[in-house]
A and B are shown apart, each in its own frame.
Chain A
């Protein structure tokens, strides 16, 4: 080398920079290409490369396939199901389809209960639901919204068979033919067998399928005939539903079963409404129908389902009941999410819950604040330990590592229960404090069954999740950085704060994300040591899953939690940057 010093860019020979530069120069010399680069055999290079890589890619895919499937089945699907459940509300529309349809023109603002058509629809819906025993489920569902509906529905399920008792008895007494199940079947098949009312059958079939919840393997029977359906429309519908239900759920031929009361009552109403109905039939059928028609008690033509329901329970005249059915009639509802945010969807619209019933927003805020506190305590306690682990000689560090991991190997319940022993007012910690004279015997600290207890116990339990990522990041920071800083004149503190700490931030980030996300969904520990002031939103979710059985609300709370976590994650990415998170090396 001569007197003229060479800059780094003028160094000749094999430096990494020069190699790159030479490659660039070589590429430039080849000049621009026309069209795609070709492989040796003339196929485009890109395609050639893809073909060469395809096998590799397929093998990689095959290797990850089991995990992919596992995750899809056990993770993605349940989350999707949860999200769906939080808005899903098909039970009302499926159980009371005609009622919901009849309420189309009615609004809560009308100020009075709906008209007879709605009660009529309610009767036929309720009768089928009572047979299938789905009315209690619906009652339970609507009871979340308006208290009392559950018992109202259960009572209606029992009483619906008694509606129109006078009419049913009159028909029964008018001719012995009505006691014959096969006679009913014959009545419905009157006329040209080919001319069945297929639309009616299809409707009934769809309904029976929903109510029974199973695909129906019905023999393609032909009820009702078009003639019967024209003369006795209500009866045809009621009988078809009865027949399908009997066939598919009870698995009995309808011709051998007594028809439901709903069929009898429908016949009475048909005969009262259409005096010429018997003339569409002939022979014994016509005779029996005429006899029944003659025997009908007076006032059958003006039969009111509304009166019948009101007689059962006055609440059937209540605006709130009908308003609730109307408000939750749709297949999807925002009701669960509104409840989860301390609002309620009621017949008048959306309104805030009374202040003493607002719990979820408080719980969400508490969950977030306490999770942050726990994360912060974990950083404060875990950082020195991780530093020690990373800087001690290997043998000592391994022993210490076992101490860190030991809590991992004991049951969560044991650890949490141990905290109960330690923290309670007559517990070890208070005893020691009293013995030391730091607190008086009367002034024992309340360390458990409140937020303090939850924070202490959860910090302990989640500490390893902070220490491990911190340790693995610190392990990669060479001690020479600190030495360099000190040799450059930095005090121990400056060297740590300006040089070591910034490099350990990715570990803090990874640990914080782990701890925070685990904390926000924690359930067992707050349940055991949290009392009332230290429980998290997850405890409320668990309550709705296992005790109140309001899964929709639980799903809505869970979805909000999920969105919150994702939002915080996004925020973290914006502020710290997710590539600044390192779990190791």
Chain B
């Protein structure tokens, strides 16, 4: 990471931030982004992701460390000289100006001539399919429309870096999905670098080139979405991204790509060691609900577990079955709604199993 930072477009180098001088909100952040990347900062509230964004935008100063843009430190550059576009959670469209005036604002402060200004505004509005709304006031627009305008305003002065702070948080699901798609399309078409902050993991997974999962002021994992989901590096990421079943136990044996874990209930299962110590230490094994199979026909060396059905939930395209497995009453299994899929009834006893590589042994 450090060698990449030298030619990175955006780089955080050992950045720390404290508001009160006692606790660190951001602890030793290192991050390097190449030009044109769509990076999402994902994390629960209070994890420091928004603070990072604000430091990048220049509204907060780093307590320690350096933030670099195109290789140049920007710690002491005021926000208005950084040339970074920003989209806010509540849109922050100026209510006393029309849509066109809102878009003209960044161009006017840059002293761009009237004709060029109008052309750029038109292009930006067309870009977000809001070409006819130039004369309206923000209050006359729906939430989705306002967000499009906010996006157009952040892009109209052609910044190379655009920051988005939970821009879709206030919209309904359907609109959110439409706009997610549009934002990614625009980012790719324009070749801009985007730092996107959200606490919605679906949003993070569908939009980003890479996702930085924040917790406790640190990046827990920085990886492309599929890697994040398939190969979480620690149990926080496993829990936070997607649905996850956790079983706790003790490592019995670790051999290369395979380990054996004795669960607290006494059963023994196989897992892939990812983030574990040596035999005898505690571990949490994580299995995705869709990777669990009923009455599995696995290899002879695979371990299976006995389970009792607690609840069966019909969800249309999938079934969710809640099981009691090895002392865990909230073990979820997701199965596709196929014609031959059995519908289990509560109280029924079943055998479940999974491929050992789908079961990851992580830190306790």
Contact = CB atoms under 8 A, between A and B. Distances in A.
Interface of A: 1, 5-8, 11, 13-17, 478, 480-481, 483-492, 494-495, 498-499, 502-503
A5 B185 contact: yes
B234 to A, nearest CB: 34
Contacts of A489: 80-81, 83, 106, 109-110, 157
A541 B148 CA distance: 61
A480 B85 contact: no
Nearest to A7: B129
Contacts, number: 98
B16 to A, nearest CB: 22
Nearest to B83: A489
B96 A502 contact: yes
A7 B142 CA distance: 13
A13 B80 contact: no
B105 interface: yes
Contacts of B182: 5
A490 B97 CA distance: 15
A14, A16, A480, A489: most-surrounded residue (chain B CB, <10 A)? A489
Contacts of A494: 109
Contacts of A7: 129
18 contacts: A5-B182, A11-B144, A481-B94, A483-B88, A484-B92, A485-B105, A486-B59, A486-B79, A487-B57, A487-B84, A488-B80, A488-B85, A488-B105, A488-B106, A489-B110, A490-B80, A490-B106, A498-B105
B157 A488 contact: yes
Given A483-B92, A484-B92, A487-B85, A8 B172 contact: no
Interface string B143-183: 11100100001100100000100000000101101100110
Contacts of B143: 16
Given A17-B142, A484-B92, A487-B86, 17 more contacts: A6-B129, A8-B130, A14-B172, A15-B144, A480-B89, A480-B92, A481-B92, A483-B79, A484-B94, A487-B163, A488-B86, A488-B157, A489-B83, A489-B109, A492-B80, A494-B109, A499-B94
B95 interface: yes
A430 to B, nearest CB: 44
A486 B154 CA distance: 12
B244 interface: no
B148 A483 contact: no
The 10 closest A-B pairs by CB, nearest first: A488-B106, A484-B92, A487-B86, A13-B174, A7-B129, A480-B92, A486-B79, A502-B96, A489-B109, A490-B109
A11 B153 contact: no
Contact of A503 (B96, B130, B142, B154): B96
B90 interface: yes
Kindly name the residue among B57, B148, B174 whose own CB sees the greatest number of chain A CB atoms within 10 A. B174
Given A15-B144, A480-B88, A6 B178 contact: yes
Interface string B18-53: 000000000000000000000000000000000000
Interface string B214-242: 00000000000000000000000000000
Interface string B176-200: 0110011001000000000000000
Nearest to B150: A484
A487 B90 contact: no
B309 to A, nearest CB: 35
A427 to B, nearest CB: 45
A489 B81 CA distance: 6
Give the most central of B90, B92, B106, B182: most A CB within 10 Å: B92
A491 B80 contact: yes
